[in-house]
Structure 1
């Protein structure tokens, strides 16, 4: 597995998630839980975008469309990065799953 591909995918996915969460937040201004929690989760995603970008540059990986190749190796800095981001990522996942369970019956019956 190429490190540059993994870092690019994480970067892309977190960017996309942050955009979608902010969009969802702005369309649900009257539902305070969705509005505020989505904004908090989007902020976490923006933070998660910066850290992999920093790690990528440390490994010579350009997150632009034409990345340089990086050597995949056991790297304590990258392991630390995943340990820092993982709890927030799990929280984002749990919140999204909960919202699906709460909203899906309303959508199906409307």
Structure 2
């Protein structure tokens, strides 16, 4: 296995986790409408990245599984009802910050892998790999900017409220 295939596999795994974690955070924080809607939207980018990686994988001798079906299930319905409960509690804000931090770190790891892949593609003259990284990396950078902005916006109030 080459460094390129290892990085492709790491990106595939990272984007699958990112999609799952974004959708889970969207469900957990349904009462925070901006978080819920934006997390759901940017999870689609990771879904698209997975599809692109799966499509490119055979060229590099890999067989990667496609995106998982993230359809609603029993637990999603339970979380939705819980999120609709009246009133807010301080622990919810801390849980939101924790989720945003974890999402930020996961997106940053994916970003570094996209950057490494792009650099390898340039070094080897692999236009297929460079096109893949060029198409996906900007969306990952936007995921990072979104989580960072949300943390900057929410942290002062949530960490200092009693």
TM-score, shorter chain, exceeding 0.5: yes
Larger radius of gyration: 2
1:62 shift after superposition: 2.8
Structure 2, unaligned stretches of length 5 or more? 66-120
SS of 2:41 mapped into structure 1: helix
Post-superposition Cα deviations, 1:10-56, rounded to whole Å, max 9, x if no partner, equal: 00111111111001111122222111100011011011111112111
Residue 88 in structure 1 maps to residue 89 in structure 2 = no
State the alpha-carbon separation in 1 of the partners of residues 129 and 23 from structure 2. Answer: 27
Instruction: State how many pairs are aligned.
Output: 103
State the alpha-carbon separation in 2 of the partners of residues 63 and 2 from structure 1. Answer: 16
Structure 1 window deviating more from structure 2 (85-94 vs 33-42): it is 85-94
RMSD (CA atoms): 1.8
The TM-score, its normalising length taken from structure 1, stands at: 0.83
Tell me which residue corresponds to 1:69: none
Tell me which residue corresponds to 2:32: 31
Tell me which residue corresponds to 2:130: 79
1:2 shift after superposition: 1.2
Post-superposition Cα deviations, 1:60-92, rounded to whole Å, max 9, x if no partner, equal: 11337xxxxxxx843111101111112211111
- Identify the match of residue 97 of structure 1 among 136, 140, 148: 148
SS of 1:79 mapped into structure 2: helix
Structure 1, unaligned stretches of length 5 or more? 65-71
SS of 1:37 mapped into structure 2: helix
The TM-score, its normalising length taken from structure 2, stands at: 0.58
Q: Within 5 Å, which residues of 2 pair with 1:9-28?
A: 9-28=10-29
State the alpha-carbon separation in 2 of the partners of residues 103 and 27 from structure 1. Answer: 16
